Amino acid sequence: MTVCRGIRGATLADENSAEAIYGATTELLEALIEANGLEEHSLAAAYFTMTPDLNAVFPAAAARKLGWNNTALMGATEVAVPGSLPRCIRILILVNTEKEPQELVNKYLKGTATLRS
């Protein structure tokens, strides 16, 4: 049975620039696509957040550049928790799938695995 499930990921941008944000977001999206065999027609939505120190561009634009033109995309600023990772981009993808939750692969790049501990 097909259900809607969430896939998570996070990465760090090297700096607050369009190039760095697009590059980091694209790298993360490509890792999530490859690890989970994602195809746009199965996506319900994708939600992007960035820490307040990143504001040069919208990270969701990287998904549009990858061809996600029919997927609902939303962006927001992450909560500014003292001591949290700087320049962090997070993604939550909602996908319609027959896979069980344990079959989905979350990706944490560039030292963001600490978010899961």
Domain, as residue range, for 22: 3-116
pTM exceeding the 0.95 threshold for the entire prediction: no
Nearest to 104 by CA among 7, 2, 4, 3: 7
- CATH no. for residue 86? 3.30.1330.40
Residue 117 confidence (pLDDT) above 90 = no
Number of domains the chain is built from: 1
CA 29 to chain centre: 6
pLDDT, tens digit, 9 for 90 and up, residues 21-80: 999 999 999 999 999 999 999 999 999 999 999 999 999 999 999 999 999 999 999 999
CB atoms under 10 Å from CB of 71, counted, come to 20
CB 43 within 8 A of CB 4: no
Can you list the positions of beta strands (E) in the chain?
3-12, 43-50, 72-77, 88-97, 107-108
